[in-house]
């Protein structure tokens, strides 16, 4: 039997009832949809500074986030499900980021990668041009600290995002449950 | 070429210049009124034409500005640095965009962020900041209470 309680597993959500000559799977449609969504999250090719190099490393052969369903990076927001904010967001970039997010089709998810995307990072003080955290512009699902984060940290964030999606709750519900 | 040799050559070309050998490259300090002429001389110097301006920037020392020009001669691969002191009240200097075309954008950047006026520049407009920006953000006394968090 496959449980939906342990969200970290990659198995199909539902119960298998053995019958002669095969079996029946019982599941909730919502769970199946979330399972499917979480295992096919296409990231947007979006990188504004050095975290982008790390993100490219995670996308390439050695770390390879395709293994977890982040199959191909899309160069258009209309085909992307998740935007990884890899780098500093400056005031001039903020409206562009907002527009990219608006152009993404629902459901859409946001990962803030690195110190700059979380809070402005090294540019928090005495800078006139940097947005102090990408969550001032668009809502963020998962934050990864680091400058830049290790590739393993990004993979962990991606898997955490999958867990969140499999929980089947909205951002607000997750916030209230914590 | 050794810096000592370079000093002798530059000294011959620009007798009024103050030359320092302390840094990585030869530092040549010039007055702003003789700068344009000296720049032309360096560019058209037959022995080693300084035909590549690879960096143009400005430094705010609070009491004054210093314009800094990094030049290279592609013939001999020697680098020199030209420094020109500008006063803070009327920061003006002749453009070098007619000598080194790359300076056109660099000077626009310095104009945008430091507020230095480049005389006879063909197109002195903002480069990065929005049109309605007030102030010069890379000046030391710049303050922006909305976007800046002071340490």
Residue B150 has its nearest CB partner, among A125, A129, A132, at A125
Residue A177 Cα distances to A35, A141, A170, A171, A174, angstroms = 21, 14, 11, 10, 5
Q: How many CB atoms lie within 10 A of CB A13?
A: 21
Which residues have C-beta within 8 Å of that of residue A117, sequence separation ≥ 6? A51, A85, A86, A87, A88, A89, A133, A134, A140, A143
Task: Provide the shortest C-alpha distance from residue B149 to chain A (in Å).
Answer: 5
Question: Where are the domains positioned within chain B?
Answer: 3-90
Q: B147 — contact with chain A (CB < 8 Å)?
A: yes
- What would the pLDDT profile of A39-85 be if each residue is shown by its tens digit? 889 999 899 999 999 999 999 999 999 998 888 888 999 999 999 99
Q: Is B151 within 8 Å of A91 when comparing Cβ atoms?
A: no
Q: Is A124 within 8 Å of B137 when comparing Cβ atoms?
A: no
Assessment of whether the complete model's pTM goes beyond 0.90: no
Q: pLDDT > 90: what percent of chain B?
A: 66
Q: A127 — contact with chain B (CB < 8 Å)?
A: yes
What's the rounded Cα separation, in Å, for the pair A72 and A45?
A: 9
- Laid out side by side, the sheet with B26-30 consists of B18-20, B26-30, B78-87, B64-73, B52-60
Q: Is B151 within 8 Å of A128 when comparing Cβ atoms?
A: no
**Are residues A4 and A44 in contact, defined by beta-carbon separation less than 8 angstroms?**
no
Q: Is B144 within 8 Å of A125 when comparing Cβ atoms?
A: no
**Are residues B64 and B86 in contact, defined by beta-carbon separation less than 8 angstroms?**
yes
Among the four given CATH numbers 3.10.105.10, 1.20.1060.10, 3.30.460.80, 3.30.70.260, the one describing domain B3-90 = 3.30.460.80
- What would the pLDDT profile of B96-133 be if each residue is shown by its tens digit? 999 999 999 999 999 999 999 999 999 999 999 988 88
Which residues have C-beta within 8 Å of that of residue A152, sequence separation ≥ 6? A63
Q: B25 — contact with chain A (CB < 8 Å)?
A: no
Q: What chain A residue is nearest to B144 in terms of C-alpha separation?
A: A128
């Amino acid at each position: 039997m496959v449980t939906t309680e342990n969200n970290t597993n990659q198995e199909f959500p539902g119960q298998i009832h053995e019958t002669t000559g095969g079996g029946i799977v019982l599941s909730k449609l919502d769970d199946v949809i979330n399972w499917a969504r979480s295992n096919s999250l296409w990231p947007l090719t979006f990188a504004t500074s050095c975290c982008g190099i790390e993100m490219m490393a995670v996308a390439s052969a050695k770390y390879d986030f395709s293994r977890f369903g982040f199959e191909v990076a899309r160069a258009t927001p209309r085909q992307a499900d998740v935007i990884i904010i890899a780098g500093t967001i400056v005031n001039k970039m903020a409206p562009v980021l907002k527009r990219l997010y608006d152009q993404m089709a629902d459901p859409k998810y946001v990962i803030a990668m690195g110190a700059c995307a979380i809070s402005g990072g090294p540019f928090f003080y005495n800078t006139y041009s940097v947005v102090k955290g990408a969550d001032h512009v668009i809502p963020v699902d998962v934050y990864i600290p680091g400058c830049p984060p290790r590739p393993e940290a990004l993979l962990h964030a991606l898997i955490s995002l999958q867990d969140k999606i499999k929980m089947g709750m909205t951002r607000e519900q997750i916030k209230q449950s914590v | 070429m050794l810096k000592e040799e370079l000093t002798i050559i530059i000294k011959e070309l620009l007798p009024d210049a103050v030359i320092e050998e302390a840094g990585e490259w030869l530092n040549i300090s010039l007055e702003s009124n003789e700068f344009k002429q000296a720049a032309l001389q360096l560019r058209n110097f037959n022995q080693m034409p300084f035909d590549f301006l690879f960096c143009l920037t400005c430094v705010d020392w609070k009491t004054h500005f210093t314009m800094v020009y990094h030049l290279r001669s592609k013939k001999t691969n020697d680098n020199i640095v030209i420094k020109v002191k500008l006063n803070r009240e009327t920061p003006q200097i002749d453009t070098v965009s007619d000598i080194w075309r790359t300076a056109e954008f660099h000077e626009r950047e310095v104009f945008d962020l430091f507020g230095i006026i480049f005389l006879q520049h063909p197109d002195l407009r903002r480069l990065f900041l929005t049109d309605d920006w007030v102030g010069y953000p890379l000046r030391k006394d710049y303050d922006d209470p909305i976007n800046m968090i002071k340490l």
